[in-house]
Structure 1
Amino acid sequence: MTADDTTPTPTSTTSGGSTVGIVTDSNSQLTADLAERFDVEVVPMTVTVDGIDHLEGVDLDADGFYGFFDGRPPEVSTSQPSPGSFAIAYRRLVDRGCTEIWSIHIAEAMSGTVASAQLGAGEVDVPVHVIDTGSASFGVGACVWAAGVVRDRGGDVDDVRRRIESFVGRLGTTFMVGVPLLVERGGRAGDLEIPGEAISVLAMNDGDVRVLEQVSTVEDTIDVMSTYAASWVEREPGGVTVAIGTADEPSRPLSDRLAAALTDVPGIDDVVHYRVGPSVGAHTGPGTFGLFVFPTIR
C-alpha cells in the first residue's frame, strides 16, 4: 500500500467471503492487547458518579474511577450505550471495509446493552449479528477473544454462536469485592446477605451472586480462588486459561499473589491480567480482585 492509497485495511474474512468486524461494550473489560489483536470496536458504557456522567475508557479509566472513593462510597450507577453510539461504531467498521459485523455483549438479563445494539444495527446497511453472551465483565471479553479466533480461521456467524454458547457454559468466576454495599445496591445479590464480620469469596452464575466460601483472612481468599481455578482442570482436560482482574493499586499485591499461586499448576496453560474497570467497579468497589477461568482458546 502506498502513502496515497486510502483503501481501508480489511479485517479478517470468513469462509463465506464477508469481511467481518467485531464490536463489544466496555463492560467486557477487554484488554488493549486483545482489542488490537482482533481490531475490536469497544463501545463505552456510561458510568454516573455523584450525578455526573462519564464514558468508560474515554473520559474515565479505572484509576480515575477508584479515585472517587475518598473515604466514602460515592453514588454510582451504570447504563448501556445508546443506539447511536453503536451505530457510530458500526459505521466505522463499514468505512474500514467490513461487510458483516458481530456485536458481542453483556447478558441481556443484566443490562439493556443488547437491545440498544439491536436498535443501532438498523442504522447501517450491512448485516449486524448481535450476540448475547449471557455473561458479564471479562466473561464477555473471553467470548470476544473466542469469536476473534473463529473469525480469523474463516468461521461464520453460526460457528461463533455455537462456540460462545458452549464456551459460556464452561466458564467460571470467583472474586472478593472491596465494598459489599455496592453489590447489594446493584441488585445482583438477590436475597444474599454478605456479613461484615467475615470475608466472603463470591461466585456468579447466570447473573446471580452467591457465596462460594466465607474465610477469616485475605490469605484464605487466595487459597479458595486458586483451588477453584485448579478444579476447572478436571473439567477441561484440554487445558484452561485464568484471567485475573485487579481493581486498584491496593488490590494489585493480592492479584499478584493469586497469579503466583497458579503458576506451574498442571493444566493451567496461561494466566492473563485485566483491570476491573468502572462499569464493573461500580458494583464492587476498590479493593476487588478475582478471576475468570475458561477453556484455553485455540
Structure 2
Amino acid sequence: MIQLVTDSASMLPEAVRRRFGMFVVPLTITIDGEDFAEGVDLTTAEFYTHMANGAEVSTAAPSPGTFVDTYRAAAQRGATAVLSVHTGAAYSATVASATVAAGMVDIPVSIVDTGVGSFPVALAAWRAAEFLDRGCTIDESASAAERTAAGTGSLFVVGVPAVARRGGRFVAISGELTPTTLLELAKGELHDRGTAVDLDAAIEAMIDGTVAAAQSGALRIGVGHAVHHEVAEQIRIRLDTQLPGSEVVTYEVGPSVGAHTGPGTLGIVYTSI
C-alpha cells in the first residue's frame, strides 16, 4: 500500500482526506508568541478572531520531526511507501523538512514539490490519490500531481491588502491592491485583472472566468473563503448549476494562507478533471 501525505496549507477538504485516508501534516501557526498546530488545536474561525483583534500572527513549516512521526505512522498503518505532496518550496520550507525526514525513516518516501500553494496543492494531492486508487505506480501518481499543479488556475480577491503586501507575496502586482482587485494565478504567474466596482462585481468576474475555463472541458473547482461561508456556498451553487459536468466543493482559507491575505479573502480555484 502507498500512503499519501500532504500538508495543512493545502486546505484539503476533510471529506477528501477521509475518502482516501490521507495524512495531513500541520503547519505551525504562532499567535502572540503561542504556537498552534493548524487544523488540530486551532480552528479557522478562532484564528480570524485573533487576527481581527490585532494579534501578531506568523506561520512556520512542519518540523522534520513532525514528518518523521507521520511517515512512521504510515508504515504502522501498513504502507510500504509514501507519496508526500506539498506546498512549493518557493512558498514554504515544507518540502525541505519533508526531504530531511525522508532520510530518517525506513520506509521509502517520494516527495512532490508542487510549485504552488493553498488549494492547488489539495487538487494535486487529490489527483495523485485517484491515480493510486486505480492501481497506478507511485511515479505515475507523482507525475499526475505535478501536471495538475501546473495546470491549475485561480481567480481571487484578498481580504486585507495591507496584510498581503506586508508578506511580500504580491510583488508582481505593481498597481494599487484593494479588496476588489481581481487577481489571477495561471501557470505559476500572478496577474492583476483590474479592480471591480464592488465585491459583487468581482464575484461575477470570478464566476465568468471559471465558466469560460470550463469551455475546454469539465473542471474540479474549489470555492475558497475566509469567513465568507454563505457567499462561498452561493458561488458553489451557481457554478454547480452552470457547469453540471464539473465537480465543485468549498473550502476554508486556513491560517497558514489567511495570515498572508487576511479575513475576507475569497476565490475560485480550478483544474481539469
Q: TM-score range by the shorter chain?
A: over 0.9
1:142 aligns with 2:123: yes
1:63-112 deviation line (CA, Å, top 9, x unaligned): 1101113354x322211100000000000010111110001100111111
1:131 aligns with 2:108: no
1:167 aligns with 2:148: yes
TM-score (norm 1): 0.86
Structure-1 residue corresponding to 2:46: 64
Structure-2 residue corresponding to 1:9: none
Contact 2:83 2:110 in 1 (8 A): yes
4+ long deviations beyond 6 Å: none
1:264 aligns with 2:241: yes
CA, structure 1 residues 181+257, in 2 after alignment: closer, same or farther (shift >3 Å)?
same
Q: Give the RMSD, CA atoms, in angstroms.
A: 1.8
Structure-2 residue corresponding to 1:278: 255
1:155 aligns with 2:136: yes
Structure-2 residue corresponding to 1:43: 25
For residue 107 of structure 1, the aligned residue among 88, 101, 104 is 88
Higher mean C-alpha displacement, 26-35 vs 74-83: 74-83
CA, structure 1 residues 165+70, in 2 after alignment: closer, same or farther (shift >3 Å)?
closer
Structure-2 residue corresponding to 1:94: 75
What is the percentage of aligned positions where both structures have the same residue?
36
Structure-1 residue corresponding to 2:272: 295
CA, structure 1 residues 189+22, in 2 after alignment: closer, same or farther (shift >3 Å)?
same
CA, structure 1 residues 206+77, in 2 after alignment: closer, same or farther (shift >3 Å)?
farther
TM-score (norm 2): 0.94
Contact 2:157 2:265 in 1 (8 A): yes
Counting only pairs closer than 5 Å after superposition, residues 217-256 of structure 1 correspond to structure 2 as 217-235=198-216, 237=217, 239-248=218-227, 251-256=228-233
- What is the CA distance between 1:278 and its match in structure 2? 0.6
1:116 aligns with 2:93: no
In the alignment, the residues of structure 2 paired with residue 153 and residue 131 of structure 1 have an alpha-carbon distance, to the nearest angstrom, of 19
In the alignment, the residues of structure 1 paired with residue 29 and residue 162 of structure 2 have an alpha-carbon distance, to the nearest angstrom, of 17
More helix by share: 2
In the alignment, the residues of structure 1 paired with residue 31 and residue 78 of structure 2 have an alpha-carbon distance, to the nearest angstrom, of 37
Contact 1:230 1:268 in 2 (8 A): no
In the alignment, the residues of structure 1 paired with residue 15 and residue 50 of structure 2 have an alpha-carbon distance, to the nearest angstrom, of 27
In the alignment, the residues of structure 2 paired with residue 50 and residue 267 of structure 1 have an alpha-carbon distance, to the nearest angstrom, of 45
Contact 1:198 1:215 in 2 (8 A): no
Structure-1 residue corresponding to 2:15: 33
Does the residue aligned with 1:272 lie in a helix, a strand or coil?
strand
Contact 2:2 2:81 in 1 (8 A): yes
Contact 1:222 1:257 in 2 (8 A): no
Unaligned runs of 5+ in 1: 1-18
- What is the CA distance between 1:208 and its match in structure 2? 5.3
The aligned amino acid for 1:255 is A
Contact 1:49 1:75 in 2 (8 A): yes
In the alignment, the residues of structure 2 paired with residue 213 and residue 38 of structure 1 have an alpha-carbon distance, to the nearest angstrom, of 39
The count of aligned residue pairs is 273
In the alignment, the residues of structure 2 paired with residue 183 and residue 196 of structure 1 have an alpha-carbon distance, to the nearest angstrom, of 9
